[in-house]
A and B are shown apart, each in its own frame.
Chain A
Amino acid sequence: MSSSKSVGLREKAAKFLSDQVYLPYVGPISIWILLFVFAPLGVVLYFSFLRVGPFGQILNSFTLEHYRLMLKPTYIQVFMRTFVFSFGTNIICLLIGYPLAYFIVRCGGKWKTFLMFLVIVPSWTCYLIRLYALKTLTGNGGLINEALLNLGLISSPLNILYTPFAVVLGLVFGFLPFMVLPIYASLEGLDPSLLEASEDLGATPLKRFFTVTLPLTKGGILAGTILVFIPSLGEWLVPMLLGGAKVMMAGNLIEEQYIKLGNIPAGSSIAVVLTTIVVLIIYLSVKMGGEEVLERMM
């Protein structure tokens, strides 16, 4: 009796195992994500509710204080700024990225690859160094001001560096390629016969663009938005280097709390709020069909 039962169990186990053939494939990533994504984020969530002692030690008692502190006007202002800057960056990237992608696709052939290459290569240079180069360029004694002064267009140097404008400029500079790429991909995937058909119907180029091309590349725009808007929300290097550490964004608050003040619970609460916002946006865009586009791009 008992042996037949154990055989039955063994068979069941064997069957169960053979049903789980996918495990060797998705097992590693599942464990990895559980260990190094969910667990750390869970820890951050947990710490964000803990009290801080007089010397910054983490105490084992529950508090909502860090979240309450985030309603301070300074924090709200920083979050608003983060949102406005990221949104502005996204719009600017779209406004200058779309025509560029359109231009590249229209050039066609060998040029297409080369022109796209020219968009990509700058992003291979160390990000920090590129920001630094932009800083050199926009400073009071930088090339831009010197050129404008020499041309007599301005009489005293323009204050570009260390202003909110410099921060947005830096964000656009850093993220523009990620807007151009997906739009280029979706434009390239368009069926030229569709455009021809509408041409035959006598649509003007502009009308054709707005009624045919633009709607067809909606996915590309959405993907570009995911690739530009989301990372801008978490950016902290640009405000620090180009904003002179006085135009903070949400990422700077987190860095300041974690690294400069060592206040892990306070930093964690900001991280939780920022992550929640990001995940919400991702969720919405996936609902709107962005995921498919994202995957197509990859």
Chain B
Amino acid sequence: METKNITSKILPVSAILVYLFLWLPTIVLVVLSFSNNKFGIKWEGFTLRWYADIINNVGIRNALKMSLTVALVTVVLSTIIGTLTAYGLYKYKFHGKKFLRTSILLPITVPYVVTGGALLVFFTRVVNIPLGYPSIIIAHVTFSAPLATFVVLGRMGRIDWTLEEASADLGANVLTTWRKVTLPVLLPAIIASAALIFPWSFDDFTITYFVCGIGTTTLPIYVFSQLRYGATSVINTIGTIFVVLPVIGLLLMNLLQKKKVS
């Protein structure tokens, strides 16, 4: 009983400390985004001018657009490829299946620097894929299509497939079955994989850093170039937006759900 008491006291305290560790930098970042200090590292009175700055900053706006485009295209391509793959792996037995499964693990586990470097060499030295949108998107899909595969595959075991079989028995062709039965059943899994891939692609720095080209400065690349040169008050502001957006999303979601209930 005594040990139980001790653990029940230690656990919350240690948990609070860990949360503090995880959140303190972010909190400080948000607070300092309102500080008048030019480098954004000390509190020097309240200001909103950094927010005005980023709204007026063409570089940030373009980078944001770039990042969103890349992330959206990546999500679409990788969920399509990933869902097909998961379906194939789940439903069929074929020669080399095990090898394929292991190969799909490879791009997820190879270090980003290696993926980035290898693709850079490949794009520039072997095939002529222009550095820019094409190279970034290919690189992102290379990482995230396998990710989508595993997310969707993981959920397939929990799906009731009788409806699909019935549809096939009734003579519906493959496309109709997919459209009417399979896709709706898989949709939650597909959305879950998209929910993973979108933020990953939006936030990826390392792979993009290697394969980006002309006019393709994504938001993380922009942030990186800023970090090097000390113009950092704006960084706090961008960081704050990154934190606040999910919270707004959360509130929106709550509102939507309440509406549904009522």
Residue B12 interfacial (CB < 8 Å): yes
The answer on a CB contact under 8 Å between B219 and A126 is yes
Contacts of B186 in A (CB 8 A): none
Residue A130 interfacial (CB < 8 Å): yes
The answer on a CB contact under 8 Å between B242 and A129 is yes
Q: How far is the CB of A278 from chain B (nearest CB, A)?
A: 6
Once A22-B88, A32-B142, A142-B41 are accepted as A-B contacts, the answer to whether A129 and B29 lie under 8 Å apart by CB is yes
The answer on a CB contact under 8 Å between B117 and A254 is yes
Residue among A28, A44, A99, A279 making CB contact with B14, cutoff 8 Å: A99
Considering only residues 96-113 of chain A, those with a C-beta below 8 Å from chain B are 96-97, 99-100, 102-104, 106
Q: How far is the CB of A152 from chain B (nearest CB, A)?
A: 21
The answer on a CB contact under 8 Å between B118 and A126 is no
Residue A284 interfacial (CB < 8 Å): no
The answer on a CB contact under 8 Å between B223 and A128 is yes
Contacts of A230 in B (CB 8 A): 109, 111
Q: What mask results when residues 217 to 244 of chain A are scored 1 for a CB within 8 Å of chain B, else 0?
A: 0000000001000110111110001000
CA distance A133 to B203 in the complex (A): 16
Binding site for B on A (CB under 8 A): 20-22, 24-26, 28-30, 32-33, 36-41, 43-44, 47, 96-97, 99-100, 102-104, 106, 115, 118-119, 121-122, 124-130, 132-134, 136-137, 139, 141-143, 173, 176-177, 204-206, 226, 230-231, 233-237, 241, 251, 254-255, 258-259, 264, 267-268, 271, 274-275, 278-279, 282, 286, 291, 294-298
Q: Knowing that A99-B14, A255-B113, A295-B153 are A-B contacts, what are 19 other residue pairs whose CB atoms are under 8 Å apart, sorted by A's residue number?
A: A26-B89, A33-B142, A36-B119, A43-B125, A102-B11, A119-B22, A126-B219, A126-B239, A133-B26, A133-B29, A136-B25, A173-B22, A173-B25, A176-B21, A205-B3, A271-B114, A275-B111, A297-B154, A298-B153
Binding site for A on B (CB under 8 A): 3-4, 7, 10-12, 14-15, 18-19, 21-26, 28-29, 32, 40-42, 80-82, 84-85, 87-89, 91-92, 94, 100, 102-107, 109-114, 117-122, 125-126, 138-139, 141-142, 145-146, 149-151, 153-154, 199, 203, 205-206, 209-210, 219-220, 223-224, 227, 232, 235-236, 238-239, 242-243, 246-247
Show 7 A/B contacts (Cβ-Cβ < 8 Å), sorted by A: A43-B121, A103-B12, A234-B112, A237-B206, A258-B117, A258-B210, A286-B102
